[in-house]
Chain A
Amino acid sequence: MSDVIKLNKLPERVILPLKQHDGIACAPLVKKGDEVHLGQKLGDCKGSELAYIHSPYCGNVVAVEARPAPGGKSVLSVVLEPVECTEAPEFVPEKEAPPSRLMEIIEAAGIVEYYEKPTYKILKPGPLIDTLILNATFPLITRAYLPFLDKVLEGFQLMLEAGGISKGVIVLRADDKESIQAFKKASLNGKPLPVAPIIGKRHADYYFEDTDSDLIALVAGKKTYTPTMMNLLSADVMGRSLPLGYKPEDVHLSICGVKSAKAVYDAIKEGKPYLENAVTITGAVNNPKSLFVRFGTPVKDVIEACGGYRGEPGKLIINGSMGGVAVYTDEVPIVKNTTGIVVQAKEEVLRDEAMPCIHCARCVDACPVNLLPGRIAVMADCGMYEKCGEYYALSCIECGECAAVCPAKRHLVQLIRYSKLQLQKMNEAKNAEVIE
């Protein structure tokens, strides 16, 4: 736990993409040659979903241009040449802020969830929210935040207060013993935090009644709920399963991350905008660990802080080896939704050749949402997209389990994704006809 250190060494260049959330890109507020200070707002957005970009460094703007972003595409970015801050930055928290003001602070701080939604948006999405779920099923990330557990819990409570949400659930992974222990020791307004397992039909509502507490921690299965698995999370934790096309907010749930809870605390209690995150570096580096990294720091510098590559690197994966994006350069920056970096050595990189399907049904057994991935993939390969729809291709959460277990090494996720894309296009075309 104590090895979670802050990366303070100044990188050569800092790259801040102006789009770090799921919405419209921000417009730059600075131009080449400008001097910026810590916490200064660099990007302003318009629209219904906004996440402002603030500068995590002091420095000079060297360029405002398109640079490779961790999503795999190039995004308009502010490039800084960082310097040591000459004067200590002043962040003044607001005292005794009412709930409506809390929301504005969260919005102004530019806090973004791990699934790229701005946090203020998920606290009041429109439909009434009765329970906020804190997804702490990323073991390495959760562990990095354990030293600040009281701040995370307080941030979580502030989020509940800001959104006017009555109940909160923290979800932990069953095999993450270290975090479970820490949460068991944690206290909440003087009382211990109830920690309970999910058994059979005993979902969160059972424990809310049982413990008489509005905030509980639940130990779920051995599963990490990635951004595409929100509906599964709501079904597993709350027992509220959702039909295709519905979002958790339709059954009065919202989901947030550990990182945003800490960021909300920082914004409200310390007046700081969203400037840094814990990032976990695993795989072929000399000293794998978790680090607090300021946004905009290139991956290259983060890996250097972990002792550099071990052997010759073959693949650089942002956000997990199951669903993450392999990037082509280590110049991409850490952004708001970056949780982890996996480095694979040259010899670890998969080089499989796809074979015909032998119908072994391993994908069927692995699928967490009861689909027949092999069948959908075969039909997507033949261009039979309507048929894919009949096999519920659109319900796929793209977790990658099917492709990982496939003995024939077929590209199941890509084929299903492709069929989903085609189905969406077909639906749009159909809707357009109706309007005409």
Chain B
Amino acid sequence: MTQFTISPPPHRRSKISVKSLMYGRIAALLIVGAASLLLFGTPALINILAAILGAVGTELVIQLAFKQKLTISDGNALYLGLLLALICPPTLPAWMAFVGGAFAIGVGKHAFGGIGSYMFHPSLTAWVFLNLAWAQNMLPESIPITSEFSDLLYETGAGFLTDVSPILIILTGLILIATKFIEWRIPLSYFLTTVILALFLGEDPSYIMQGTFLLGVFFIATETATTPVTKNGRLVYGILCGVLTVTYGYFAGNYLWGTLYALLLSNVVAPYIEVKTLPTPLGGVLNE
């Protein structure tokens, strides 16, 4: 007699998985990272590898120590390490990048409960940690100003690794949005808010259109665990990110720090935005 599997519906699911989402993002960041190697060369490569090694290694150690299921192959630790390396200057000693990657996973991710449970973006957490611990080493040699179009393509005054080619981040980000790896609401509202507000305040857009800001728009702000899940909440979150970015950038005069601190602060507000934007079901609710 033939054996049939019984299981609850749905019996058909989309092929997309957490793993494929992570590797999609990693692929995009690898392209951005490759551009930084052109300008910075070996130190950049060593920093990227060190941060990834720190991140993945820490995840391995933690999961072995606590006898958890090994999840290093899902790409999340790899992604967070890579992202951290991209928002650090190439002059950072490699061992500090390694410590940063370990901090991102050990404290930023696993102390909060692992994948999906962290309330602060682990890479940002580690970036703040590095900034406080070794402030001198985290200072970029120059602050990029993208005054011409060629600067968007290849910015020689780049501070962090990600600042080398803003246009690549826009392209990869748009591809990820088109292929639905990233949802469009947060990038759109974040980008528009920042640009409109900055122009209103009379800021020079060449200070804003930098790799770090664009990385924030497409990759950091869209970190799914640290954003509201409601549709309107995501729009509000993007607006909040934009307002904070311009606030920091306008008064501190630096949109690199501005972006990253604004995103970290927005992470704190995300749960509040979510509970304040709960949708009502179709047809409304009875007796309310």
Q: Which residues of A contact B (CB under 8 A)?
A: 72, 231-232, 235, 241-246, 309, 312-317, 321-330, 342, 344, 349-350, 352, 355-361, 364-365, 368-372, 374-375, 391-392, 395, 400, 403-409, 411, 413-414
Contacts and interface: CB of A to CB of B under 8 A. Distances in A.
Contacts of A400: 9-10
B282 A235 contact: yes
B225 A371 contact: no
B114 A359 contact: no
Contacts of A321: 9-12
Contacts of A241: 282-284
Given A355-B18, A360-B224, A405-B14, A322 B9 contact: yes
11 contacts: A315-B6, A323-B9, A326-B6, A328-B4, A350-B7, A361-B234, A365-B231, A395-B285, A407-B14, A407-B20, A413-B9
B62 to A, nearest CB: 15
Given A316-B4, A358-B18, A358-B115, A370 B281 contact: yes
Contacts of B74: 355
Contacts of A314: 4-5
B282 to A, nearest CB: 4
Contacts of B9: 317, 321-326, 400, 403, 413
Contacts of A329: 1, 4
Contacts of A235: 282-283
Interface in B9-31: 9-14, 16-18, 20-21
A100 B134 CA distance: 88
A370 B279 contact: yes
Interface size class of B (residues with CB under 8 A): 35 or more
Contacts of B253: none
Contacts of A374: 229
Given A243-B285, A358-B224, A411 B8 contact: yes
B203 interface: no
Given A242-B283, A369-B281, A359 B225 contact: yes
Interface string B21-54: 1000000000000000000000000000000000
A372 B224 contact: no
B286 interface: yes
B285 A407 contact: no
Contact of A359 (B6, B8, B224, B282): B224
Given A328-B4, A414-B8, A246 B283 contact: yes
B116 A357 contact: yes
B193 interface: no
Contacts of B282: 231-232, 235, 241, 368-370, 395
A77 B30 CA distance: 63
Nearest to B71: A355
B136 interface: no
Contacts of B279: 370-372
B278 A330 contact: no
B73 interface: no
Contact of B281 (A313, A375, A392): A392
Contact of B21 (A325, A360, A364): A360
Contacts of B16: 405, 407
Contacts of B14: 404-405, 407
Given A326-B7, A360-B224, A361-B229, A403 B283 contact: no
A371 B12 CA distance: 21
A61 B86 CA distance: 77
Contacts, number: 161
Contacts of A324: 9, 11
A404 B121 CA distance: 27
B117 interface: yes
Contacts of A231: 282-283
B227 interface: yes
A361 B224 contact: yes
Contacts of B2: 309, 312-313, 330
Given A241-B283, A312-B2, A404-B14, 5 more contacts: A324-B9, A327-B6, A359-B224, A408-B18, A409-B17
Given A323-B10, A342-B11, A356-B114, A244 B4 contact: no
Nearest to A372: B229
A316 B116 CA distance: 35
A203 to B, nearest CB: 15
B286 A243 contact: yes
B131 interface: no
A330 B2 CA distance: 8
A352 B13 contact: yes
A322 B116 contact: no
Contacts of A405: 13-14, 16
B79 to A, nearest CB: 12
Interface string B249-282: 0000000000000000000000000000011111
A243 B5 contact: no
Please indicate which of the listed interface residues B8, B21, B74, B183 has the most CB atoms of chain A within 10 Å of its own CB. Answer: B8
A407 B278 contact: no
A242 B5 CA distance: 37
B7 A315 contact: yes
B172 interface: no
A356 B71 CA distance: 11
A403 B224 CA distance: 17
B230 interface: yes
A403 B10 CA distance: 7
Contacts of A323: 9-10
Interface in B51-100: 74
A245 to B, nearest CB: 5
Please indicate which of the listed interface residues A235, A355, A359, A403 has the most CB atoms of chain B within 10 Å of its own CB. Answer: A359
A407 B4 contact: no
B6 A328 contact: yes
Given A321-B10, A327-B4, A357-B116, A391 B229 contact: no
A332 to B, nearest CB: 10
Contacts of A312: 2
B11 A322 contact: yes
B285 to A, nearest CB: 6
A409 B13 contact: yes
Nearest to B225: A359
A375 B280 contact: no
Nearest to B286: A243
Contacts of B5: 314-315, 326, 349
Nearest to A342: B11
